[in-house]
Structure 1
Amino acid sequence: MTVLAAPTTAFAAPTPTPSPSASASLSSGASPTPAADKELETVREKLDKLYHEAAVATDAYNAAEEKSEQQSAAIAEVAKSIVEGQRKLADLKKRAGAAAAAQYRNGGLPDEAYLLLSNDPSTFLNGAGRVLQAQRATKGLIGEVAQTQRDLEQYSQDASAQWQELEAHRKAKDSARKKIKKRITEAEKLESRLAKKEKERLAELEAAAAQQAQTAWLDSGVLDEVGSKASAAGKDAVAYATAQIGKAYEWGAEGPDTYDCSGLTSQAWASAGSPIPRTSQEQWKQLKHVKVQDMRPGDLVIYFADASHVALYVGDGTIVHAPRPGRTVTLTGAGSMPILGVVRPDA
Structure 2
Amino acid sequence: MGSGKWGLTTAAMALACACACVVLASPGTAHASPAPTPTRTPAATPKPVSNKDIEAVRKKLDKLYHEAAVATDAYNAAEEKTQKQSTEIVELAQQIVKGQARLDTLKDRAGAAARAQYRGGGLPPEARLWLSDDPQDFLDGTGRVRQGQHATKGLLDEMARTQQDLRQYAKDASAQWRKLEADREARAEAKKKIKQRISAAEKLEAQLEKKEKERLAKLEEEAAHQAQSAWLGSGVLADIKSDASEQGKKAVKYATDQIGKPYEWGAEGPKTFDCSGLTSQAWAVAGRPIPRTSQQQWRQLRHVDIRDMRPGDLIIYFDDASHVGMYIGDGAIVHAPRPGRTVTIAGAGSMQILGVVRPDAQAGPSSTGAANEAGRRHE
Work out whether the TM-score is over 0.5.
yes
Asked if 1:151 corresponds to 2:177, the answer is no
Q: CA 1:95/1:20 → structure 2, altered by over 3 Å: closer, same or farther?
A: farther
Equivalent in the alignment of 1:5? none
Match of 1:213, SS state, is helix
Provide, for residues 114-167 of structure 1, a one-character-per-residue CA deviation record: whole Å limited to 9, x for no partner: 112111111100110011000000011111111111111111101100100101
Q: How is 1:268-279 mapped onto 2 (pairs within 5 angstroms)?
A: 268-279=282-293
Equivalent in the alignment of 2:324? 310
Asked if 1:70 corresponds to 2:70, the answer is no
Asked if 1:22 corresponds to 2:36, the answer is no
Distance in 2 separating the partners of 1:194 and 1:127? 99
Asked if 1:97 corresponds to 2:123, the answer is no
Q: CA deviation at 1:110?
A: 2.4
Asked if 1:47 corresponds to 2:61, the answer is yes
Provide, for residues 36-62 of structure 1, a one-character-per-residue CA deviation record: whole Å limited to 9, x for no partner: 111100000000000000000000000
Asked if 1:116 corresponds to 2:130, the answer is yes
Q: Which residue identity lines up with residue 62 of structure 1 in the other structure?
A: N
Pick from 172, 182, 185 the counterpart of residue 199 of structure 2: 185
Match of 1:21, SS state, is coil
Match of 2:262, SS state, is coil
Equivalent in the alignment of 2:280? 266
Q: How is 1:212-291 mapped onto 2 (pairs within 5 angstroms)?
A: 212-291=226-305
Q: How many residue pairs get matched? A: 317
Match of 1:223, SS state, is helix
Asked if 1:88 corresponds to 2:102, the answer is yes
| Structure 1 unmatched runs, 5+ | 1-18, 24-35
Asked if 1:133 corresponds to 2:147, the answer is yes
Q: CA deviation at 1:113?
A: 2.1
Structure with max Cα Rg? 2
Equivalent in the alignment of 1:319? 333
Distance in 1 separating the partners of 2:242 and 2:169? 51
Match of 1:332, SS state, is strand
Distance in 1 separating the partners of 2:173 and 2:159? 21
Asked if 1:339 corresponds to 2:365, the answer is no
Same amino acid, percent of matched pairs = 70
Match of 1:319, SS state, is strand
Distance in 2 separating the partners of 1:108 and 1:154? 38
Calculate the aligned-residue CA RMSD, in Å: 1.0
Q: Which residue identity lines up with residue 136 of structure 1 in the other structure?
A: H
Distance in 2 separating the partners of 1:152 and 1:288? 40
Provide, for residues 187-211 of structure 1, a one-character-per-residue CA deviation record: whole Å limited to 9, x for no partner: 0000000011111111111001000
Distance in 2 separating the partners of 1:234 and 1:298? 4
State the TM-score, normalizing by the size of structure 2: 0.83
Distance in 1 separating the partners of 2:123 and 2:197? 82
Provide, for residues 219-240 of structure 1, a one-character-per-residue CA deviation record: whole Å limited to 9, x for no partner: 0111111000000000000000
Q: CA deviation at 1:20?
A: 4.7
Distance in 2 separating the partners of 1:81 and 1:332? 50
Distance in 1 separating the partners of 2:311 and 2:149? 70
Provide, for residues 270-301 of structure 1, a one-character-per-residue CA deviation record: whole Å limited to 9, x for no partner: 00000000000000001010011000000000
Equivalent in the alignment of 1:32? none
Distance in 2 separating the partners of 1:285 and 1:117? 79
Q: CA deviation at 1:21?
A: 1.1
Asked if 1:293 corresponds to 2:316, the answer is no
Q: How is 1:164-203 mapped onto 2 (pairs within 5 angstroms)?
A: 164-203=178-217
Asked if 1:37 corresponds to 2:63, the answer is no
Distance in 1 separating the partners of 2:104 and 2:307? 65
Q: CA deviation at 1:22?
A: 2.1
Distance in 2 separating the partners of 1:60 and 1:110? 72
Match of 1:22, SS state, is coil
Q: Which residue identity lines up with residue 169 of structure 1 in the other structure?
A: D
